[in-house]
Structure 1
C-alpha cells in the first residue's frame, strides 16, 4: 500500500470515527475516537472468525503501518510544539520548580519503581523477565500524555497550579522519558555503558535538546518579528518544527525537548511582540487544527493496533497487575517529590492524587514499545502489557477523571467557556 493511499484511508477512518463520537457517544475527542476505533477493531476480530482471508488482508495492511516511525518522525514534533505553543508560559514559569521536579525526578523514580515491580511480578509468575528489560518498560510507560485529558480539564475551574503541573509535566516528561528509554535500551542491547557514560549520554540528549530548542525558538522568533505576512509566518513555524526536529535527530539531541522549548518560547515572546493580531490568530488556529487532526489520526492508530498486537492467555494476569503497578508507582513518583519539596511548591494536598489519575499514558508509550527490536527476548509481552496499560489509562482513567475532579474539588463549577458551548 502506497503512502498516499494509507494516509487517505486513515483520514477517512478518523473523520468517520470522530463523527460517530460527536453524533452519538459525545465523549472527549481523543477518548471517544479511541473507543470507536477499539470497537471497530473488535468487530474486525469477530469478522475474522467468519472471513479469515479478508481479515488476514486487513491485518496485513495494519501491520504495514510503522507506528513508531509514523509517530516519532511525522507526528510527535508537531504535537509537542502545538501543545507547548498553546500552554500558558507565564503560569508555567510560576510552576517551573514543581514541573521540572516531577518531569525529571518523577520520571526517573517512576522508571525504577515500575521496572523493579515488574521484575518481581514476572519472577512470581514464573516468566523471568530480565531486569534491564523491566526497566525499559518502566521508561516507556512513565511519560504521561496531556492530549486526552486537556479537553476534560478545560471544562473545570481546577486550581491553575494543578492544571499547569499536569500539562507542563507531560510536555517535558515526554522528552525525558524518551531519553531515559534510549539510555536503558543501550543496556538491553548489550552495550557497555559506565555510570559516567550514562550521565554523558543523558546530558547530551536532554541538555542538548533544551539548548537546541532555545536556539531554534529564538531564530524563529526573530524571523517572525522581521515580517508581517501571516501566510509566510504560518509556513515558517511549520518549517521550523519539521526541519528543526530532523536536524535535532542528526545532531543526536532530544527532538521532543527541543520542540517543547521552542514552542514555549515562540508562544510567549512571539505572541507578545513578534506577531500582529491577525498573524497570531492564524498561527493559533493553524496549530490548533493541526493538533486536532493529528490527535484523531494518532488515537485511530492506537485503536487499530489491537489487530496486530499478540495477546496470549498468559499475558492477561501480568497485564492486569502491571496496570495496578503503574498507578501505584505513579502516585509514589509524584507524592515523594511533593512531600520533600512541599514548602517550595504551590500545590495543595490533593494534587498528588489528581496528578496520578490525570497522568494518562498514550501513543508515545505504544510507539516506544513497538520500536524495540524483535530480537529482544519477550518483546511481544512488553508490547502487550504496554497496550493494556494505555487502554486502561485512556479509557478507564479518562472516563472517570471528571468524577474525581468533582470529588476532590467539589466547589468547582463548569468553566464559562464550557457553559457557553
Structure 2
C-alpha cells in the first residue's frame, strides 16, 4: 500500500509540474488530462506488444482502490476544507436557493437521467435494468465540489455566485450519496447484499436518518470543536483538533449510519461561522493555511487518480455510443433540474439570467461519481455504468472545465449590474 501510494504521489507531482510549467490549465483540469493522456499512451504501448507498463500501473491503482481512497479516505477532508473556506453568513443569506438546488435538483436529475439512461442503454443493445439506470442517475447527478471550487477561486467571481455554486455543490454531494444508498437498498444492493422488504416508508426513513442525522451530527461536531478550541491558543493543537474532528467524525458517522459527507459540510460551516469567537487572528491564519494546503494537495492527487483510472476501463463500441449519448442527456438533465426550481428563486433572490447557464455548464462531475460506480457489485451491468461514468466525468472536466471562464465572467458582470440596480 505504501509503495503504491508513493508511486501515485510521484506521478502526481510530475503531472502537476508539467501542467504548471507548460500547460497552465486549472490544476484539476490539467492533471486529469495529463493523467488520461498517460493512460492512453500506456494502453497504446501495451497494444504494440509491451503490456508490462500497463499491467504495472493497473496493479498500483487496484492496490489503492479508488472507492476506498475517495469515499473512505480523502472525501471528509475535502468537504470540510471546502466548507471552512466559505463565508457562512453569506451562505445563510442564500440558504433557500442552496438547499432547494441541493435537494430538489439532485432528485430531479437522478430520475431524469435514470429513465433516459435506461432508454439509451436499450437503444444501443446494452441490457441494463431500470434500477441500475436509476443508480447511475443518482451517482452522476451530484456536482463535484472540489473541481467547482478550484475554478471559482481562479475566476474571482462575486461572493453571491461563488457561495451559490460552491454551497450547492457541497450539499448535493451528500444528498446524492444518500439517494444512491436508498436506491441501492431498493435494488437489494445494501450492506448485506440481500433483497430485503422495501417500502416507501423504509426508503424515507433511511433518507431521513442519513440526511437529517448527518446534518445534526455535523452541527454537534462543530459545537465540540468550538468548545475545545476557544479555550486554547496553540495553533498546532487547534489544527490537531480540527483534523481529529474530521477523520474520527467521518468514521463515526459511517458507523452510526449517518451521512458523513453532509456531517463534514455542516461541521466546516459551523467552524467557519464561529471562527472570530473561537480563534485568534494569528492562530486562524495557521489553521486556514493548513486546510487550504491539504485541500489543494489532495485535490491534485484525486484528479490524477481520475485520469490514470482510464487504464482500468475496458470499452466496447456500444458503451462508447451510450457514453456519447448520455453526455448530452446529463447536460440536459442538469439544465432541467436547475431551471425548474430556479424559476421560483431567480427573481426573489436577485440572480441574473446567466446563473442557470453557469450552474448547468459548471456542473462538473468528479471523484464521487467514479468511486460510487466502482463500488457497485460485479454484475454484467457494472462495466457499462463504470464506462459511461468515466466518459461523463472526463467530458465535464476537460470540455466544460476548459470553456467555462467566459460564461463565469458574463454571469459575474450581470450579477454586479443587478446588485447595483438594486
TM-score (norm 2): 0.94
CA-to-aligned-CA distance 1:34-60 (integer Å, 9 cap, x gap):
111111111111111231234323323
Structure 2 spans left out of the alignment, 5+ residues: 189-194, 417-422
Show the counterpart of 1:392: 395
**For 2:19, which of 15, 21, 43 is the aligned residue?**
21
Show the counterpart of 2:112: 113
Work out whether residues 157 and 409 of structure 2, in 8 Å CA contact, stay in contact via their aligned partners in 1: no
Work out whether residues 366 and 386 of structure 1, in 8 Å CA contact, stay in contact via their aligned partners in 2: yes
Cα distance in 2 for residues equivalent to 1:19 and 1:118 = 38
Displacement after TM superposition at 1:157 (Å): 5.2
Structure 1 position 196 matched with structure 2 position 195:
no
Cα distance in 2 for residues equivalent to 1:196 and 1:332 = 28
Displacement after TM superposition at 1:411 (Å): 7.1
Cα distance in 2 for residues equivalent to 1:98 and 1:177 = 17
Show the counterpart of 2:288: 284
Q: Say if 1:410 and 1:99 are closer, same or farther in 2 by CA, change over 3 A.
A: closer
Displacement after TM superposition at 1:410 (Å): 5.8
Show the counterpart of 2:384: 381
Show the counterpart of 1:336: 340
TM-score (norm 1): 0.94
Structure 1 position 244 matched with structure 2 position 243:
no
Work out whether residues 331 and 360 of structure 2, in 8 Å CA contact, stay in contact via their aligned partners in 1: yes
Structure 1 position 322 matched with structure 2 position 326:
yes
Cα distance in 2 for residues equivalent to 1:103 and 1:412 = 21
Displacement after TM superposition at 1:314 (Å): 1.5
**For 2:35, which of 21, 34, 37 is the aligned residue?**
37
Higher deviation after alignment, 259-268 or 153-162: 153-162
Structure 1 position 351 matched with structure 2 position 350:
no
Structure 1 spans left out of the alignment, 5+ residues: 414-421
Show the counterpart of 1:161: 160
SS for the counterpart of 1:64 is helix
Show the counterpart of 2:191: none
Cα distance in 1 for residues equivalent to 2:407 and 2:283 = 39
Cα distance in 2 for residues equivalent to 1:155 and 1:222 = 34
Calculate the aligned-residue CA RMSD, in Å.
1.6
Cα distance in 2 for residues equivalent to 1:293 and 1:158 = 23
Cα distance in 2 for residues equivalent to 1:114 and 1:350 = 23
Show the counterpart of 1:417: none
Show the counterpart of 1:143: 142
Cα distance in 1 for residues equivalent to 2:154 and 2:75 = 26
Cα distance in 2 for residues equivalent to 1:61 and 1:265 = 38
5 Å matches for 1:224-303?
224-269=229-274, 271-303=275-307
Work out whether residues 161 and 346 of structure 1, in 8 Å CA contact, stay in contact via their aligned partners in 2: no
Work out whether residues 327 and 356 of structure 1, in 8 Å CA contact, stay in contact via their aligned partners in 2: yes
Displacement after TM superposition at 1:161 (Å): 2.7
Work out whether residues 80 and 265 of structure 2, in 8 Å CA contact, stay in contact via their aligned partners in 1: yes
Show the counterpart of 1:52: 51
Show the counterpart of 1:10: 8
CA-to-aligned-CA distance 1:14-72 (integer Å, 9 cap, x gap):
11111110000011111111111111111111111231234323323322321101111
Work out whether residues 245 and 255 of structure 1, in 8 Å CA contact, stay in contact via their aligned partners in 2: yes
Displacement after TM superposition at 1:412 (Å): 9.1
Show the counterpart of 2:405: 402
